Chain A
Amino acid sequence: MDARILLVEDDPSIREVTAIGLRNAGFEVATASDGVEGLERFRNAPFDLLLLDVMLPRLDGLEVCRTVRKTSTVPIVMLTARGDTIDVVVGLEAGADDYVKKPFEVPELVARVRAALRRAGRVPDEGERLRLGPVEIDVAGRSVQRDGEAIELTRTEFDLLLELARHPGQVLTRDILLDRIWGYDYLGDSRLVDVAIQRLRAKVEPDPANPTLVLTVRGAGYKSSRPGGG
């Protein structure tokens, strides 16, 4: 595997050991020690994945994430100092696909990176189009329209919507969604799913406060509405 990863982390030790771990796992790794340098490196060379520390000197990781998202759909994994919901929310809102809580063990990080890369490299089914209420999903083009109007979704949000739309009316638990969208079984941290669902609703639901397309099943998980209601 020769995927290229850009690691932006200010602490030299963490940067070095993370780079070693990723290289041991077969990745090609470039590093940057602050946000500005990270952005420069990203602009100068193509990368398959971005690993971003949240707390960075000069330009913080969230800002880097937002800037990158304006022009690229490259998978972004955030390294957060705290696993608080607020950090997760802010990270996902900035356009990150996943986050890894510090301190982390390198094998865990490698697994998350591989999962993110796998999702990014997923080959879409040719010409498949799905409908969820007023929302039309072009699977091959990875684009979504509502009443003919294009909606910008991040990769994670698109995958989540696709997964729900492919199983109309069927309850998908948070664990299943974690497994299918994020590509790992991570017991307990369903906040990732909840936050992503909220963000998805904010974009696709006609009235996000009263969702009609992506429904919560109390105590279980989520489901999409069946065509023709339900």
Chain B
Amino acid sequence: MLGLGGVRGRLTATVVALVVITALVLGLGAYAFVDVSVHDRFVRDAEVQARFDLTTLIPARLEEPSTAALERSGLVEAFRARAIDLVADFGDVQPSFTSILSPAFSQAVADGNLAYQWTTLSTDEPRPRLVIGGRLPGTNATFYFLHDATAVENALAQLRLGLAGGAVLLVLLALLAARAVARGVLAPVEAAGRAAERIERGDLGARVPVTSRDEFGTWAERFNRMAAALGETIGRLEAAQAQNRQFVADVSHELRTPLTALVAEASILREHLDELPPGARRTGELLVADVGRLRELVEDLMELSRFDSAAEEAGREPVDLARLARQVAAARLPEARLEIPADPVVVQTDPRRIERILGNLLDNARQHAPGAPVEIRLVPAPGGGAVVLSVADSGPGLPAGRLDRIFDRFYKADPSRGRGGSGLGLAIAAENASLLGGSLTASNRPEGGLRFELRLPVTEPLPGGDPAATRGLESGAQTPTQEPVR
């Protein structure tokens, strides 16, 4: 979510870092200032008080500078009431805590000045103390005022806590704000990403909403202009292609009427070829044959243009592929070797299209490798879910680089050699295969020749859940019937 890799993450991290630095600088600065002021003020007050105590209060209450007089005076108790421990050093017994005082402190006191030091007295007395020391004027007695600074330190600790809490809160707020801002800034980019995705899926009407007049707004407008131009270009290309296809459809349709007359005429002429004078007979035969070729070409063109205009629809009915393949083979290429299960292999498909595909493949095999043996196999696809009907010839095959063009319209494997057929048979077979939800592929056989594989999906168990059909297929694959069909 907040990966530093993304622009949003980097933007957020930058903003948060800035806020953290600002908060640290401001917080630490403010704290240091308050800390120093509070301590200074405390010290100043304490010094003023000490000066007054040393010059006025203590001399007035103390009869003589001695420990006994101090105890009698009740000064210690009076100071304790003000949260100050009063300790005096009359030169006889040095108070224990004075060992922690710095030499500068002692020197200042010895010079007759007031001195102060922040300290704690011992590990047993962890309270923060301000120690003020000074000489009683005109004596050698040194008085120490041990102020309890706990309240001050507590207040400062609370301030620290407050500042830290504030800083954390600030960072959190900054995080949220930065993410919101980042999202806002990046929204147009994401919208553009979604629009591009839709365009990629073919929705050429997708646009980026132009929500602002800033750089992003301009950018979104440009993006939209680009999408519009792209859509226009594609539209033009599609229109041109549609026009092209319509032209082919129109041409083949217009050819149909004269072709119908030609086919009928040729069929009558064929019946009467024997009655023609010898000089005209051969021409008549050629005419009949060429009308047949023209018919095949026009019908193939019409079929392809129906595919192009998506006017073709596949029927769906239970079809016994084994029986159909045997029938087609018997009609189109009786000498083909069959490897087809004896039991029915039933799939939901369109039998006319299967017949068309297989017929075209057999025609191709016959023309591609005349006289060479052709093999038709029907086996379950490895992995299941499909059956494979294959036609293999023993011809010269194709160089590997040209295999992928074999289904192109009017593709000729060997341009120098005239090939029977319209040159559209394999293209039509491939179109039919994809209409049936299957696929048609070509490959070179290791032993030479081409193998075409029609893969058909088996979408439901058939017939009516009868397992015999599929069992038949499997057992048939192991012990195929190899009977040439007459």
Q: Which residues of A contact B (CB under 8 A)?
A: 11, 13-14, 17-18, 20-21, 24, 81, 85, 102-109, 187-190, 218-219
Contacts and interface: CB of A to CB of B under 8 A. Distances in A.
Contacts of A20: 268
Nearest to B355: A188
Contact of B260 (A21, A102, A187): A102
B268 A106 contact: yes
A107 B352 contact: no
Interface string B308-338: 0000010101111000000100010000000
B267 A102 contact: no
Closest 8 CB pairs of A and B: A105-B267, A13-B261, A103-B263, A219-B318, A103-B260, A102-B260, A17-B264, A106-B267
20 contacts: A11-B257, A13-B258, A14-B260, A17-B261, A20-B268, A24-B268, A102-B260, A103-B263, A103-B264, A104-B264, A105-B263, A105-B264, A107-B267, A109-B264, A187-B331, A188-B355, A189-B352, A218-B318, A218-B463, A219-B344
Interface string B293-321: 00100000000000000000101011110
Contact of A11 (B253, B260, B265): B260
B346 interface: yes
Given A24-B268, A219-B346, 17 more contacts: A13-B261, A17-B261, A18-B264, A102-B256, A102-B260, A103-B259, A103-B262, A103-B263, A104-B264, A105-B263, A107-B271, A109-B264, A218-B317, A218-B318, A218-B462, A218-B463, A219-B463
Contact of A14 (B253, B257, B268): B257
A226 to B, nearest CB: 19
Nearest to B302: A82
Nearest to A13: B261
A104 B259 CA distance: 10
A13 B264 CA distance: 10
A64 B327 CA distance: 39
Contacts of B264: 14, 17-18, 21, 103-106, 109
A14 to B, nearest CB: 5
B425 interface: no
Nearest to B315: A85
A33 B329 CA distance: 42
Which among B267, B318, B327, B355 has the greatest number of chain A C-beta atoms within 10 A?
B267
A135 to B, nearest CB: 26
Contacts of A188: 351-352, 355
Contacts of B317: 218-219
Contacts of A189: 352
B464 interface: yes
Given A187-B327, A218-B464, A104 B258 contact: no
A228 to B, nearest CB: 23
A150 to B, nearest CB: 33
Contacts, number: 68
Contacts of B355: 188
A104 B266 CA distance: 10
Given A13-B261, A103-B263, A81 B256 contact: yes
Contacts of B315: 85
Contacts of A190: 351
Interface residues of B, number: 32
Nearest to B324: A188
B419 to A, nearest CB: 23
A190 B327 CA distance: 15
Nearest to B464: A218
A109 B262 CA distance: 15
Contacts of A187: 327, 331
Nearest to A110: B267
Contact of A219 (B263, B271, B319): B319
B66 to A, nearest CB: 128
B244 to A, nearest CB: 21
A230 B316 CA distance: 25
A106 to B, nearest CB: 5
A195 to B, nearest CB: 12
A102 B264 CA distance: 9
A179 to B, nearest CB: 15
A81 B249 CA distance: 13
A182 B257 CA distance: 26
Interface in B238-286: 253, 256-268, 271
A104 B344 contact: no
A60 to B, nearest CB: 16
A174 B401 CA distance: 45
A21 B267 contact: yes
A54 B258 CA distance: 16
B262 to A, nearest CB: 7
A17 B270 CA distance: 13
Interface string B97-130: 0000000000000000000000000000000000
Which among A103, A104, A189 has the greatest number of chain B C-beta atoms within 10 A?
A103
A21 B268 contact: yes
A63 to B, nearest CB: 20
A51 to B, nearest CB: 12
Interface string B341-373: 000101000011001000000000000000000
A206 B151 CA distance: 103
B403 to A, nearest CB: 30
B336 to A, nearest CB: 17
B217 to A, nearest CB: 52
A21 B352 CA distance: 30
A105 B268 CA distance: 8
A188 B323 CA distance: 13
A14 B462 CA distance: 46
Interface string B166-195: 000000000000000000000000000000
A106 B327 CA distance: 26
A188 B358 CA distance: 13
Which among B256, B257, B317, B351 has the greatest number of chain A C-beta atoms within 10 A?
B257
A188 B324 CA distance: 10
Nearest to A219: B318
A21 B327 CA distance: 32
Which among B265, B271, B351 has the greatest number of chain A C-beta atoms within 10 A?
B265
